[in-house]
């Protein structure tokens, strides 16, 4: 198993590297510093591991968007796989319940309600009620028929053979697994897990204030709801094709789901930017938080730091300390930018992920301001938390 996995990774190693460089190329293009990219690709030996990690984050976040349909479809496959205790189940019920859970979470996020224990309990009761109604509507006849078969087989078996404890246990387990309450509780739990995994990208990929923070809140809410409905749509369609004697299992929905994700990314193209930049930050190749850097004055003279761009700087010995952000780092290479870029990037990205309201003025200014970024080696600049205290305390 491990050897097969290792072989697959080895076969795709070159693709991982190329895709990782594409990820970094897209990042530099967005911030307006493509001229730095050739310097990165010339140092392959020192950056391959970081780029693969970046690609892994990019891939994992993208695959996470497949979870709504994939997990829901697998619930139906798990229910009707060939076992003696199989359960007749339409996976569309799991998808609809998971979608309801996502909508509840989105609504709580939208109205900014503090999530208390009572709110969680009421939400779980509502989700369980939704699944119970759906399961009764679409699976009742098949499940009742299956329970009747178990009951008849039990009567025949117990009347013709000597009953042993293992036989009683087997039939008790079969009756438990096909009991309506067990089915509803089990698949409601699966639906909640699916909803949580489906909601994960919204939490991890973006800053907390990107969504539902500004104008057109209702429009943002509606568009996000529509996106999740699209992601659940392939399995929800199984409810419309429900038949009494239908056999539900692993369907072509798993091939259809990636097409939907591509469509979602095409419609909401800013999501690619969010994933790209967030993955760069998560793996530590960038930090858009203000920090103090100490540049060696012999390599970076005063005219590199115009005060109207960089702000106030302080010279201490052979170093010039100044506030900025680490827009990119690659081993011993740093791209240090004026702290103004952080606010410009937030303006350019905020509230446009689902409403197509890109602030082109802020984006253009971001590209212009990035020309003042400085490329330095580790022996030419020192970042560090201790420098912040020193910078604030020095006259």
Average confidence score pLDDT of the chain: 75
Q: In this predicted model, what pLDDT tens digit does every residue of 351-366 receive, in sequence order?
A: 555 555 567 788 888 8
Burial 357-374 (b: 16+ CB within 10 A, else e): bbbeebbebbbebbebbb
Could you tell me which of 141, 143, 138, 230 has the C-alpha nearest to residue 181? 143
- Cα separation, 76 vs 92, in Å, equals 8
Evaluate whether residue 240 is within a structural domain.
yes
User: Is residue 276 assigned to a domain?
Assistant: no
Structural domain total, the chain: 2
35-45 mean pLDDT: 72
Q: 210: which 2 tokens? A: 């990107």
Q: Please give the span between the terminal C-alpha atoms of the chain, in angstroms, as a whole number.
A: 63
- What is the secondary structure of 149-214 as a DSSP string? HHHHHHHHHHHHS---HHHHHHHHHHHHHTSHHHHHHHHHHHHHHHHHHHHHHHHHSS-TTTSSSS
Q: 174 burial class (0-12, 13-18, 19+ CB within 10 angstroms)?
A: buried
Residue that is last in its domain, among 246, 270, 294: 270
The pLDDT of residue 71 is 74
| 70-94 per-position pLDDT tens digit | 777 776 655 554 444 455 677 788 8
Per-residue model confidence as pLDDT tens digits over 170-191: 777 777 777 888 888 888 898 8
Say if CB 239 and CB 96 are below 8 A apart.
Answer: yes
Mean pLDDT of 116-128: 86
Same domain flag for 171 and 236? yes
Distance from C-alpha of 52 to C-alpha of 29, rounded to nearest angstrom: 19
Answer with the residue of higher pLDDT: 387 or 339. Answer: 339
Query: Which domain does 178 fall in, by range?
Result: 67-270
Percent of the chain clearing pLDDT 70 (strictly above): 65
pLDDT-derived band at 264 (thresholds 50, 70, 90) equals low
Both 337 and 380 in one domain: the answer is: yes
Asked if 188 and 216 sit in the same domain, the reply is yes
Residue 178, in any domain of the structure = yes
Q: Which two tokens stand for residue 67?
A: 């979870």
- Return the CA Rg of the chain: 28
């Amino acid at each position: 198993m491990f050897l097969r996995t290792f072989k697959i990774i080895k076969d795709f190693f070159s693709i991982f590297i190329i895709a990782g460089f594409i990820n970094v190329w897209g990042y530099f293009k967005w911030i307006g510093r493509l001229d730095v990219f050739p310097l990165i690709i010339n140092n392959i030996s020192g950056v391959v591991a970081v780029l693969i990690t970046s690609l892994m984050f990019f891939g994992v976040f993208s695959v996470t968007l497949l979870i709504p349909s994939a997990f829901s479809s697998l619930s139906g496959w798990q229910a009707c796989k060939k076992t003696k205790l199989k359960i007749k189940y339409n996976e569309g019920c799991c998808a609809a319940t998971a979608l309801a859970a996502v909508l509840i979470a989105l609504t709580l996020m939208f109205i900014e309600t503090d999530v208390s224990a009572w709110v969680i309990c009421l939400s779980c009761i509502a989700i369980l009620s939704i699944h119970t109604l759906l399961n009764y509507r679409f699976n009742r006849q098949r499940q009742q028929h299956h329970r009747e078969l178990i009951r008849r087989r039990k009567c025949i078996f117990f009347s013709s053979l000597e009953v042993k404890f293992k036989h009683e246990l087997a039939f008790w387990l079969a009756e438990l697994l096909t009991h309506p309450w067990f089915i509803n509780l089990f698949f409601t739990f699966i639906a909640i897990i699916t909803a949580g995994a489906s909601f994960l990208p919204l939490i991890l990929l973006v800053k907390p204030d990107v969504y539902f923070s500004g104008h057109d809140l209702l429009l943002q809410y509606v568009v996000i709801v529509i996106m999740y409905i699209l992601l659940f749509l392939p399995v929800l369609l199984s409810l419309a094709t429900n038949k009494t004697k239908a056999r539900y299992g692993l369907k072509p929905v798993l091939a259809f789901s990636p097409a939907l994700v591509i469509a979602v990314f095409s419609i909401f193209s800013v999501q690619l930017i969010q994933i790209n930049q967030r993955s760069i930050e998560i793996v530590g190749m960038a930090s858009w938080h203000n920090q103090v850097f100490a540049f060696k004055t012999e390599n970076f003279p005063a005219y590199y730091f115009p005060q109207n761009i960089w702000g106030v700087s302080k010279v201490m010995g052979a170093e010039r300390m100044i506030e900025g952000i680490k827009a990119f780092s690659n081993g011993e290479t740093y791209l240090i930018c004026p702290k103004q870029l952080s606010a410009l990037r937030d303006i350019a990205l905020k509230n446009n992920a689902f409403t197509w309201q890109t602030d082109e003025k802020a984006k253009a200014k971001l590209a212009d301001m990035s020309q003042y970024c400085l490329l330095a080696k580790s022996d030419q600049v020192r970042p560090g938390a201790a420098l912040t205290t020193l910078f604030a305390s020095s006259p």
